[in-house]
Structure formats: structure tokens, C-alpha cells
Structure 1
Amino acid sequence: MVTIVCILYFIILTYIGFNLLYKPATRFRVPFTKHEYMLCNGPEALLIFIFWTGLIGLGPVLSLRLGVLEILCYLGIYKARSRVVWSVPLQIYVLFLIWVVIGCFYTPSPVFGGRMVLKYLYPFLVALFASTVVRDREVAFKAIIGDRITALVVWLSYFVPGMMFLVRGVFWHAAALTTHFITVSMFSLSCCYIPQQRFRNILWCIVFSLPCFIWSFRTGILGLTVACAAFFFVKYRLKSVPIIAAIGFLAVCSIFYIPRIKQKMYFNPDKVTLTDFLTGNVEESNINTSGRNLMWDVVMPFYEDNKLIGAGTGRVQKFFYTEIVGFGRGGQLHSDFLLMLCDNGLIGFFLYVLSYLGVLFHCMSIYRRTNDSYTKALSITAGAALCGVLVTLYSDNSVSYSMCTLSYPWGLYGMVLGLYKREKEQS
């Protein structure tokens, strides 16, 4: 039944996507207004639709849905009136993708390697598509504000009795949603600095900062903390050091003073205090990694035997899906950083991280140079959210659900490139 429902949703979403792309114009209400409307061309409407529906994963047909979205992005770029806006971080990411493709030639499983390529490719395509399409801030804000409303509906559905049974397999799971909410929180925080939008967006920011604490996701707390730190660093630079220290301290306190989180963090939570944590007197055997350390130890030889180039793209996935016996079979490594090291070695890992750092510094540069408050909001959101999502790769498999995690900050970065290009052309 779940598969049938997901296939039905897939057919509907695919039809709407292609229809919007080839439709001459679609009417949307202008963001932050009640009675003004705008006409969007096909690629603009498609980008808005992609942002609005990214939280619909459709588990049984996920790979097929991801492939269709990538085809739509290709077609949208081809049909758009403007050209792709390239930047140094995007060029570095191209080098990473090339290296990942090269890894498919020495992997023991090209099929799993191809699946990994598609997962790495999608956020990049969304960024290119957004940089091609977005030249008006109304389109950008319509996309991300619509996503924020969708995110609220999806989150609240978890608290409606029986709702999860009705939509099982349709939406992404809670861990992926928590990572997605990092981007939504940073967008809401950035909008606090837009005139007449402060109080409302403070509430939005608080609402989407709560799930990682309510659901006790340690990776989500880490990502949100880093994202907030990056946000204030971009905005205030060295003046932000006290704010960043306070944010870090509050995050650590949450581990020890929210009982559910502390119980999830340690096997014997009563034996660990905040002082022990701050002084480094915590026994490693007491830290609950939910079995991650066991899986990490098993795959480490893939990296240690081929530190520079790795064992080939998709090698880790092949191991978990076809080779391992017992615990971990059919699962994920829960560390995309380690997965990259095992699959593509130090070369792939450093190219990937370097592209993210490049986006952060480029967003910082645009934030200082642009005179438009809306471009500032998007640039600081993209930079901060990318940093927050990046650190989740340490202990989670965010790449596997890049449709609702990595693609959003990359898409925002593409929007920033498009808006900033138009600003420079008009100046």
C-alpha cells in the first residue's frame, strides 16, 4: 500500500514539474504581500516547485524521483533565459564530481558508484539551476518561504495521531528533517534583520530550532550550533566571539540538562557531569554512539589501504548492502566524511570540504559588497546553513538524503549568485 501511494505521488509530482516548466507563465502571490501577484516563467515556477516539494522523499521510489528532479534541473537550465553563474566554489565542486566519476572506474561496484554520483550531483545541479533562473528577489523568497510553510506542516504532522500512518514513506524521516530545519532556521534568523519582519521571524527561528532538542538528535544540535556560530561570524566577524562562545556553552548545557538528550548521549548518564565533560574526564566506553563506532571500525581498512584515492566510489555502500553479515546490513555508515575517505580518499574529501569553505567565504564577500538587504539575507543564510549541514556529515548520512538537506543551502547559494550578478549589471 505504501509503495502504491508513493508511486501515485511520484506520477503527480512529475507531471506538475514538467507542466510548470513548459507552461508560459504561472501566477504566484508576491512574498510579504497579501494582494499583489507576479507572473513567473517556466523555469522560475519549476524552481519554486522544487523548493516547495523537497521534503517529499517517497522512499520506495526515491532513486527514481531523484533522477527525475535532476532531469528537470537540466531542462530548466537549458530553457532558462539567462546563463549559469559560475564561481570558484562551484568549479571546485566540479573537480570533486570529476574525481568521484573517476572513482567509478576502480570501484568493485560501478552500480553503487553511479548511485553515489547522483547523490553528489543533485545539490550542484540545484545551485546551477538557481543561479540561472533567479534574477528577482521575489522568486527567491517565494521559493524559500513556501518551503518554510511546507516544513512546518510536515513537522506538525508528526504530532497528529495517525497522520504518520497515512503518510508513511511520503515525507523524509525525522533525522533528515532536523538537518533541513537548520537551513529554515538560518533563513528565519536572517529575515529578522529585514525591516518589519523581525518579530515574526524570531518566532519562526525558534520553532525550527526546537525539533533537534525535542527529538534528541545530537547531530542536529551540533549542526544548528555551528550554523548559528557561522551566521554571527559572517555578520559581526571578530565581534561575534562572545556570542559564539555563549551559543557553544548553551549547546553543551543542553546535553546535560535535558534528560532525554543526556540519556541518549551516555550509557550511564548519572556518572557524567558537565565538569567531567569540560575537563575531558569522560570514559569513551560510556559514550553511546548508537553502534557507529563498530561500523566505522569495520570500514576503516578501505581508507587505510588507499588513503590518497580510496577504494572506489560506492565501495562502502556495496559493503553494507551485499557483503556485511548481521548488524549493519542494508544500512548506512552514518558518517559521510568517513564514507568519502573510504570511497574517494583524501583527494575527494579535501575537494569536497574546500568547496564548502569556498561557499562560506564567497557568501561573506557578497554579504559585505551587496547593498540589497534581501541579497544579504540569502547570502548569510546560504553560508551559515552550508556550514551547519556540513558538520552533520561527521556522524550522519546527509548525502543520502541530499534532496532535503544539502540541496537547499546550495540552491540558496545559486540564488545569491544570480541576484548579485544582476546587481552588478545594474550598477
Structure 2
Amino acid sequence: MAIGLSLLAFLLIIIYGFEYAFMGKTYAVSTTWNKRIKFKVNAQQRFILLLLATAIVQAGAFSALLLLVWMGLLIGILFRYGIQMFTSPMLKIYALYLCWLLFSLVLTSEKGYGFRVLAKYLFPFLVVLVVSSVKITDIFFIKALKVSFIAGVIINSCIVLMKILPIYAIYNPILWWQPAVIDVNPFFIASGLLLYKFSKKKQILFAILLFISIPIVESVRTGLIGIGVFFLAVSFFKYKLKALPVFVLIVASFIASILFVPTVRNKMFRHTFNSAEEVINMSSNLSPDSIDSNGRFAMWEWSLNTFYEGNELMGAGIGQMQARFYSGNHPFGIIKIAHNDYLQIICDTGQIGLFLYTLIIISFVWHAFIIYNDKKNNVLARQAAFIAGTSLCGIMATAFTDNVINYSLITLSYPYAFLGFALVMKSKRK
């Protein structure tokens, strides 16, 4: 059954993706607020809507092949319709980083795994190129925003429903698993905040509460960090240095969740504490060894010793780390990922690779910050930049303890698509 559902999801996306990308000229799509009123979108625009709607689909055993299909469709669109290059430091740095990955691919002995890793970095770059090459109208942007938000509501609701109804056998072969969803929830929160600003509909607030509560109820520390960093980024984008009190409040809230929420507290520490007072009284004796890392600290130390030492500048070669973990030739049982993207980057591509990728994140967020705070830009361009920049901060914060780039179809397509929206729309008048 699982293989059948995975294959069905995979084939449907191939069929509709090819149709939307290359067949037909215009389509009628309902507007955001009134389904009876429709507006026309071209093939490229509808393809983008399809990507935003179905990025939550993993297609089970076909997930790696699905990513390649999406990349093939994106490249096909670029060849057919051309590339509209916008001035963005991030795009130039990203192109340089991809060149470095190609150089590492030439040198690595694990070219198969190296190509698989390369594809996950190439995908978001293709997304922003395609989106920034398409005509983006105000009504289309709002439609894309709502489609993305509804996708977030669907997949988060399914996580809740799995606790109530026996739908795991249906959910698992089709949609992305829970860690990937929680990693990208900062984006869904950001999109919901903007939709609420436009519509004032209370059900949007309930959905935002759902996005925030799932990592709390499930005691997912990575998700809590991501959401916390997202709100730090929101306060900085809006208030700049005046946001310092908000920073303090958010950090205090995170500490309070560790102290006062029993499920979070018990998952954080190796020792069981019955109250916040016990944690405070033992604070002087706490150390990194007191934190329950689920074996991450030992795994990270082993990885650095195995791949990084002696290869500090250039790394051991792209794909080397994934090849070792997938083979099971390591002392950590059945684990296939190291749960730290930055660790994998430095192990595979060395200090040069990590430096370039860090520059990509910084330039992405900084460019989004500049677009948002320039009041000469189109209002919706500023909002698109706000969503992209703040959500990427939260998403990439989770990459310290999770493999966000491993799930790039769901985690990175949304912020990179909305940066593309911002690049296109910023030249419009307010």
C-alpha cells in the first residue's frame, strides 16, 4: 500500500507539473477571497502555484526522484522562457558556492552520493531563478501566499489527526514527516501573519497557534529554537535595535519553556527534574554532558574526527559523509543523517564551503531586510521580503540540530520562492 500511494503521488506531480510548465497558455484561477471571481495565470505562474501547494508532498520512497523531477521541470522552464537576472548579492554568492560544490564533486570518490547532496543545494537556487523570471502581479502574489498557507494548515493538521485517527499508513507514504514540517513552520507562521493582516479572519490565528503549539506539545527542541529565532528576526526586521527588549522577552520565554513545561524539561536533560526549582538549584552543576542530545554530541565529534581532521580547508569531498552514514559503517546504529547541516557542510566541503554557505544565508537575510525597510518599494514586495528573510532565519537555525537541507523541497522552496517574489515586485510603485 505504501509503495502504491508513494507512486501515485509521484506520478500525479509529474503529470500536473509537466502540464502546468509546458502545456497551455492561460488558466482561470479563483481569487483569494472570492472563489466565484477568477483571474488568468499563465503556465509559469500556475506551475509556481503547484510547487507551493505540493512542496509538502514527499512521495515516500520516491522522494529523491521527485526532487530530480522538480529540478528538471525548473530547468526546463528556464530554458523555454529564459532567465530574468536581478541584482542580488545572494545569487552571485550562491552561484559561486555551487561552483565549489561541483569542484568538490569532481574530487570526491563518492560521486553518486555527492550528486544527491548537490541536488539538494541546487534546488532552492533554481526556485528563486524561476520565480524571479515570472511576471508577479499583486493578486497573484496574494494567491500564492494563501496557497502556501493552506499547504501548511493541511500538513500540520495531519500531524494532529494522526494522534486521533489511524491515518499514518496514508500520511507517511505521501507527505513529509514531522521533523521537516516543524522545521518549516516559521514560514507558515509568517505567511499566516500577513494573511491575517489582510483579512482579519480569526481562523488564521487558530492556524498560527497550531503551528506554534505542535513543537511545544511534541517537545521538539529544534522546532522551538526555530520559532524562537523566527520571532527574534521578526522583531529585528520591524524595530531594528529598538527590538532589544523583545529579544530579551523571547529568550526568557524559551528558558521558561525549558523550566516550566515538563515534557520539554524532561527531554532537555539526562536527569529527571520534577520542578523548575530543582533545575535552578542544580544549575551550578549543569554542563553540556547534562543535556540529552540523543547522541548528537558524540556523533558530531566522531564526524569531525573522521571527515574534517586533515581536510580542514577543502573537506573530505561532497557526499562522503552521507555515503558513510547511509552504509551503516559508523558506531551509531541505524542513523542515516548527522542532524546538523553545518557539520555536514564543513566535513564535506571544508572551511571554504561553510564560509560560502554562511555568506549565502547572511546575504539572503540582509537583502530581504533592505527590501523590507526601503519604503520606496512596492508594499507587497516588502511583505514578501519580510516573510522570506524572517522565516529563513528560523529555518536555518534548526539546521544546527537537524538536516534541513536534506528536506529542501519543503523547507527551502517557500522562503526562496518568496525572495523571488520580492525581487520581481520591488521595482513596482507602491
Q: Answer yes or no: is the 8 Å Cα contact 1:124–1:407 preserved in 2.
A: no
Structure 2 unaligned spans of 5+: none
Structure 1 length normalisation: TM-score? Answer: 0.93
Determine helix, strand or coil for the equivalent of 1:349. helix
Q: TM-score, normalised by structure 2?
A: 0.93
Number of the residue aligned with 1:338:
343
Deviates more, 1:321-330 or 1:64-73: 321-330
List per-residue Cα deviations over 1:79-129 (Å, max 9, x = no partner).
447723341111111111111111112222111110000011111111111
Structure 1 consecutive aligned stretches of length 4 or more whose deviation exceeds 6 Å: 277-280
Give the AA of the match of 2:405: V
Q: Secondary structure at the match of 1:26?
A: strand
| 1:385 corresponding residue in structure 2 | 391
Q: Report what 1:89 is aligned to.
A: 90
Q: Aligned residue for 1:143?
A: 144
**How far apart, in 2, do the equivalents of 1:307 and 1:100 lie?**
15
Check whether the contact 1:335–1:395 (CA below 8 A) recurs between aligned residues. Answer: yes
- SS in structure 1 at match of 2:40: strand
Q: CA RMSD in A?
A: 2.2
Counterparts of 1:178 and 1:67, CA distance in 2: 24
Note if 1:353 corresponds to 2:361: no
- CA distance in 1 between counterparts of 2:94 and 2:111 reads 21
Unpaired runs of 5+ residues, structure 1, are none
Aligned to 2:170: 166
Residues 325/92 of structure 1: CA separation in 2 closer, same or farther (3 Å cut): closer
Residues 222-301 of structure 1: matches in 2 within 5 Å?
222-270=225-273, 273=276, 276=280, 281-301=285-305
Checking the alignment, whether the CA contact within 8 Å between 2:84 and 2:129 is kept in structure 1 is no
Cα deviation for residue 278 of structure 1 reads 11
User: Structure 1 stretch 73-82 or stretch 355-364: which is displaced more?
Assistant: 73-82
In structure 2, the CA distance between the partners of 1:278 and 1:133, relative to structure 1 (3 Å rule), is: farther
**Amino acid in structure 2 at the alignment position of 1:228:** F
Residues 292 and 330 of structure 1: CA distance in aligned 2, closer, same or farther (over 3 Å): closer
8 A contact 2:156–2:211 mirrored in 1 = no
1:362 & 1:203 partners in 2: Cα distance? 31
Structure 2: which amino acid aligns with 1:404? I
Counterpart amino acid of 2:61? P
| Code of the aligned partner of 2:241 | L
Alpha-carbon shift at residue 184 of structure 1 (Å): 0.6
What corresponds to 1:399 in structure 2?
405
Q: How far 1:153 sits from its partner (Å)?
A: 1.9
Q: Which residue in the other structure is 1:178 paired with?
A: 182
Paired residue for 1:152? 153
Aligned mates of 2:200, 2:281 — CA distance in 1: 39
Q: Distance in 1 between matches of 2:5 and 2:206?
A: 34
Counterparts in 2 of 1:372 and 1:270: CA distance versus 1, 3 Å: same
Instruction: Please give the residue correspondences for 1:96-115 in structure 2 after superposition, counting only pairs within 5 Å.
Output: 96-115=97-116
In structure 1, C-alpha distance between the alignment counterparts of 2:325 and 2:83, rounded to whole Å: 43
> Compared with structure 1, are the counterparts of its residues 280 and 406 closer, same or farther at alpha carbon in structure 2 (3 Å cutoff)?
farther
SS of the residue corresponding to residue 23 of structure 1 reads: coil
**In structure 2, what residue type is equivalent to 1:283?**
S
Do the aligned residues in 1 keep the contact of 2:216 with 2:224 (CA within 8 Å)? yes
Distance 1:126 1:333 in 2: 26
Q: Distance in 1 between matches of 2:155 and 2:373?
A: 35
Counterpart AA for 1:15: I
For 1:189 and 1:4, how far apart are their aligned partners in 2?
37
8 Å contact from structure 1 (residues 320, 330) kept in 2:
yes
Give the % identical residues.
26
**Structure 1 residue 326: deviation in Å?**
5.2
Matched residue of 2:130: which SS?
helix
Larger CA deviation: 18-27 vs 269-278: 269-278
Range moving further from structure 2, 114-123 or 23-32:
23-32
The alignment of Structure 1 onto Structure 2 pairs a total of residues equal to 423
CA 175–324 in structure 1, closer or farther in 2 if over 3 Å, else same: same
Amino acid at match of 1:130: V
Conserved? CA contact 2:141–2:421, under 8 Å: yes
Cα distance 1:45–1:269, how it changes in 2: closer, same or farther (>3 A)? same
Partner-residue secondary structure (3-state), 1:108: coil
CA displacement at 1:203 relative to structure 2: 3.6
Question: Counterpart in 1 of 2:416?
Answer: 410
Partner residue, 1:28: 29
